[in-house]
Amino acid sequence: MITLAQDCLLFELAGGESIPFSADMISVDLMGETALWFDPDFVRHAAKAVFHYFQRELGRKTVTLAEFAEALEKVLKGFKPDAPEPVRPQPPSVAQSDLRRLASDSGHGCELFFFPRLRDELRQHLQQRPRMLRFHGLRGCVKQLVGAQRWTTRCQVLEDQIVAYLRECLSAEVTQKEFALVVE
């Protein structure tokens, strides 16, 4: 495992990957009318301040891109309180996840790691508040976890367990009314 440099934070992107950045590596581009309100150097210094807030004040090693953007927005809004509220992007109507990738990440035949990883994936997608969440690649995932070339009774049992687990996790997590879960 590679150790993270002292002056870096891991930024988690929406796709699940993490990229290390130092305060000097952060670049912020303001667009539209907002770009006229602030000097680029001022925005760069504000971004560095937010970076150090997460790293030093909160003691964080990782931060999501959304968290960082929201904190920077609050800081900049503090210097321009009469600025209009930004237009928030609409949540995606369909979020997707590949069960085969989750099985691969969990290791061959390792159901013990697969189920917690599946729940984390579900929670991550639900934070975006999609109208539908689609998990695809169920049969391939099951065969990969079981280590089978052909569909067996054990495969069917595990498939039923995965679907039941997703339903159970979903019933504990979802509060929105119009939501659909598709597992295929």
CB-based contacts of 175, cutoff 8 Å, min separation 6: none
Per-residue confidence (pLDDT) for residue 150, from 0 to 100: 93
Task: Give the residue from 133, 156, 132 showing the smallest Cα distance to 146.
Answer: 156
pLDDT in tens, 3-23: 556 677 877 877 777 778 777
Q: Report the alpha-carbon distance of residue 57 to residue 50 in Å, rounded.
A: 10
Per-residue confidence (pLDDT) for residue 21, from 0 to 100: 76
The chain-wide mean pLDDT, for the chain, equals 79
Mean pLDDT value across residues 53-78:
82
- Bridge partners of 180, per DSSP, are 132
Predicted TM-score (pTM) of this structure: 0.50
What percent of the chain stands above pLDDT 90?
A: 18
Mean pLDDT value across residues 161-180:
82
What angle is formed at CA 146 by the lines to CA 143 and CA 150, rounded to 5 degrees? Answer: 45
Mean pLDDT value across residues 27-55:
73
Task: Give the residue from 168, 178, 90, 180 showing the smallest Cα distance to 135.
Answer: 180
Q: Which amino acid is at 170?
A: L
Task: Give the residue from 155, 128, 124 showing the smallest Cα distance to 139.
Answer: 155
Asked whether the predicted pLDDT for residue 107 surpasses 80, the reply is no
Per-residue confidence (pLDDT) for residue 32, from 0 to 100: 54
Asked whether the predicted pLDDT for residue 139 surpasses 70, the reply is yes
Per-residue confidence (pLDDT) for residue 1, from 0 to 100: 47
Q: Report the alpha-carbon distance of residue 103 to residue 43 in Å, rounded.
A: 42
Q: Between these two residues, 87 and 148, which has the higher pLDDT value?
A: 148
Asked whether the predicted pLDDT for residue 152 surpasses 90, the reply is yes
**What dihedral do alpha carbons 29, 91, 95, 128 form, nearest 10°?**
80
CB-based contacts of 80, cutoff 8 Å, min separation 6: 37, 38
